Amino acid sequence: MKKASNTLINMVAALFLISGGAAFLLTEVYAATKEPIEKSQKQKEEQALREVSPAFDKAIPATFGELSGFVLLKGEDTVGYTLKTYTDKGFSGHIDMMIGFDKNLNIVNTKVLYHKETPGLGDKMTQPKFKNQFIGKNPSSFRLKVKKDGGDVDAITASTITSRAFCDAITRAYENIKKFKK
């Protein structure tokens, strides 16, 4: 039996076959998981909408400047607004959040939808001890900066960057809703 030689052509062909097979498998896995992932994300956002919003009967999709969200109605009356906001200033980068405001632009609640912050440190932004300090506050009078920077926010110990990023996301939502309400 003749042994195959290790020529450049043989090596390139083998590499091409392995790469092509891997690409095909990745494409199939992506196609199979795309819809379930999108469905799961949509359910997560719908649940967050209920968690952060004042009581409402109807949520009308709306665009608030650069952000999307909902105008919330109870009967015919507007009772609040919910915006999907973000920041790229987290310790580990991008953070997606949902923020609920009542009709006077007081913060009803916040919900982090996505982050890569450090477990045990930055991810404390999702815990009540940190996030509840924003409930009922109006950003027009509650300074959305950590106390170290002259604001009213108690930062997460050893996670000031994440705390600043959380404030940045809320500020982005507030600035966009404020323009919408004018």
With bands split at pLDDT 50, 70 and 90, how would you rate the model's confidence at 44? confident
- pLDDT-above-90 percentage for the chain: 82
Q: Where are the domains of the chain?
A: 1-52, 53-181
Strand residue runs (E) in 33-141:
58-64, 67-74, 77-90, 93-102, 107-114
Residue 5's pLDDT is: 64
Distance CA 95, CA 117 (A): 8
Q: In the predicted model, is pLDDT for residue 182 greater than 80?
A: no
Picking from 15-19, 42-46, 123-127, which range would have the lowest pLDDT averaged per residue? Answer: 42-46
Q: pTM of the predicted model, to two decimals?
A: 0.82
How far does the chain reach from its first CA to its final CA, in angstroms? 84
Q: What is the pLDDT of residue 129?
A: 96
**Greater confidence, 124 or 41?**
124
Residue 60 pairs in a beta bridge with 71
Q: Where are the beta strands (DSSP E) in the chain?
A: 58-64, 67-74, 77-90, 93-102, 107-114
Q: What mean pLDDT is reported for the chain?
A: 93
